[in-house]
Structure 1
């Protein structure tokens, strides 16, 4: 009854969506257990034909969006499986962006983790499953995580299945069904013409998706466990070309501020991704120039930490971001007549934009302002000595950050296999 209510609610919510978009095509992609790499051997011409259709729809202006849903088997740690399904979504999205040339923002990802629904349908259609009735009851009535009255996890659906018949049922499922649960479903949505009305024969999107899943399940139930390519075969396979230097979401970026370099203040910044929209960076600036005979000194050392929130998915890739920064440093400025030596702290907010350039490089522009507090000693240089004048404090509110940086993108996430998970 609960499933029926949920299905009806989904149907009502998607009717409005169906009036403006149509599922024009779909394709399924098989993965090797534990891997997020797309195998041409397993997927053949179907993926290429789907990508060609996406490109044609984009060229005609009919492309609305592409939805990627990825799954794994119950083997492995559940949190790792969820991360693996997200990596598979990312890998498929990268492939489509690279080979169809579409905007990455038109691709939506839905990492679904363990494919419990498909596993249940496969079990229900095969009477050779040991403990078939019991395992179906576990999937139907045991939540993914069992929580006690204190909110602590006391068990799980997977644990119940592993304990059934001393592990015999779980071993049978692993041998016969689990290989078919490593897959992704990709759906192509196109725009409905404005003058085309929705007829009674038009099916809501939720039923189209369910029908596609049933067709895939039927194909799995009629064939044996697919033979997956070996590691040696995978190493020999040509990898798909990936846009934006290899991945949509590089883990690390190495930067240098060209404006600071022009001001003889070399800088280097290391930024790494914290999530799909968050990143963190550590920056250091150092200038240590001094001319003793002329009593001129330009010495500055500053280090700062910044946290950024990206407007688009895939931080460190491209687009706008906002951030907050804080730092500290010390300095010694002397022009031959006066000198100022001190230390200070600063904090503020910033906004910036990143433009990809080539496969591994990008240009970043950023500006920001906030508050700076410094305490310094004023002195007069005289015959190789510094004559102390006074000590002062200064609070400054205004612009504190101006960057035009060259960025080197590192750590391509979708370009390597995941060794853990199922």
Structure 2
């Protein structure tokens, strides 16, 4: 009887460490899975923000920083918007190159521009990270708005449709605050071939005030949908055939525009717009005879409808503070 009891006790003592080994293996497995799971806690999002600032290769970098500032505190919503942004390109980059750095690298304060920033302790909420203090989301948003309102965005443009019509052109647009901008344009095809009685000349300039729609917190200035009111004018001389030509003593056009601008990459963007309004001109018709122009008749012409169309390449420049 005693021998049987001793045998049972020995068997129990044998399986006890084995069970501990399996239990430890299961625990390590769970911990390992938890480490691989890319779930960011609030304090880590602050470190992500500083890594994004320091990394010039992050796709849609400005939009990513803006989303982190604006949705800091609503981290589930933030992750959802990052997955949606531009088909998830930025979020995929964060998963591959930014999130793995969190907790594995020591960030020196001099390496990142935000690391040395400090704010009073009474300002809440505050996100503390190892390398320094991250400015609170609300404060960053206010500072970002102030900086954004002080900056002037200058955009240089070229209308591709006018280029196809052999009409050299240039536009300059200046931002005024967050929702307004002023666009000026100039076009000057000045082609003349007297030997073949060909003339294609136009001097024209105009201005347009624009109001930008949509939520400006979520978009860069001079991007998105806009409405505008424009006016332009100039002189012209067209003779495409030897038999006749027409010379405009003046022309004016004014009306409303609707358009959309989208940033392509970096400072480059594309803009499409259509203007509908009223055009008025005074003209004289002529024909060529032995090298001279013989005037035939003239008059005035009025038109209501589309008066301009644009598909423009845009180069955005930031000036001032």
Give the TM-score taking structure 2 as reference length: 0.56
Q: CA offset at residue 281 of structure 1?
A: 0.9
Per-residue CA shift, 1:2-30, capped at 9, x if unaligned? Answer: xxxxxxxxxxxxxxxxxxxxxx958xxxx
1:300 paired with 2:300, answer: no
Partner residue in 2 for 1:399:
306
Contact kept in structure 2, 1:378 and 1:391, CA below 8 Å: yes
Measured in 2, the distance between the counterparts of 1:51 and 1:328 equals: 50
Q: Secondary structure at the match of 2:178?
A: coil
Aligned to 1:356: 263
Q: State the Cα deviation string for residues 270-291 of structure 1 (Å, max 9, x = none).
A: 0000110110011001011111
Q: Which residue of 2 aligns with 1:311?
A: 213
Alpha-carbon shift at residue 318 of structure 1 (Å): 2.0
Alpha-carbon spacing, 1:292–1:48, altered in 2? closer, same or farther (3 Å): same
Deviation at 1:49, TM superposition (A): 4.5
1:402 to 1:100, Cα distance in 2 relative to 1, 3 A: closer
Work out the CA distance in 2 between the residues paired with 1:397 and 1:46: 55
Q: Distance in 2 between matches of 1:299 and 1:218?
A: 64
Asked whether 1:320 is paired with 2:320, we answer no
Q: Structure 2 CA distance, aligned partners of 1:374 and 1:349?
A: 19
- CA–CA separation in structure 2 for the residues paired with 1:188 and 1:386: 75
**CA distance, structure 2, for counterparts of residue 380 and residue 218 of structure 1:** 79
TM-superposed CA distance for 1:304, in Å, is 0.4
What is the deviation of 1:332?
0.4
Larger Rg: 2
Flag structure 1 segments of 5+ consecutive residues without an equivalent. Answer: 1-23, 27-44, 56-90, 109-185, 193-214, 220-246
- Distance across 2 between alignment mates of 1:390 and 1:100: 59
Using the TM superposition, give the Cα deviation of residue 315 of structure 1 relative to its aligned residue in structure 2, in angstroms.
6.0
Of 337, 340, 343, which residue of structure 1 is paired with 2:246?
A: 340
Offset at residue 189 of structure 1 (A)? 2.3
Does structure 1 conserve the Cα–Cα contact (< 8 Å) formed by 2:201 and 2:236? yes
| Cα gap change, 1:251 to 1:377, in 2 (>3 Å) | same
Aligned CA distance change for structure 1 residues 250 and 100 (closer, same or farther; 3 Å)? closer
Task: Determine which of 235, 242, 247 is the counterpart of 1:330.
Answer: 235
Residue 172 of structure 2 corresponds to residue 287 of structure 1: no
The whole-number CA distance in structure 2 between the counterparts of 1:340 and 1:99 is 53
Taking a change above 3 Å as real, the CA distance of residues 101 and 377 of structure 1, as seen in their structure-2 partners, is closer
The 5 Å alignment of 1:9-408 reads 25=42, 47-49=46-48, 102=64, 104=66, 108=70, 187-190=72-75, 216-217=121-122, 251-312=153-214, 313=216, 316-334=221-239, 335-342=241-248, 343-408=250-315
Residues 355-393 of structure 1 show CA distances to partners (whole Å, capped at 9, x for unaligned) of 212211111111111001100011111111111111200
| Alpha-carbon distance in structure 1 between the residues aligned to 2:317 and 2:300 | 42
Structure 1 residues 407 and 266, CA, compared in 2 at 3 Å: closer, same or farther?
Answer: same
Q: For 1:383 and 1:191, locate their aligned partners in 2 and report how far apart those are by CA, in whole Å.
A: 80
CA contact (8 A) 1:364 1:405 kept: yes
- TM-score, scaled to structure 1: 0.44
Distance 1:97 1:274, change over 3 A: farther
Unaligned 5+ runs, structure 2: 1-40, 78-119, 125-147
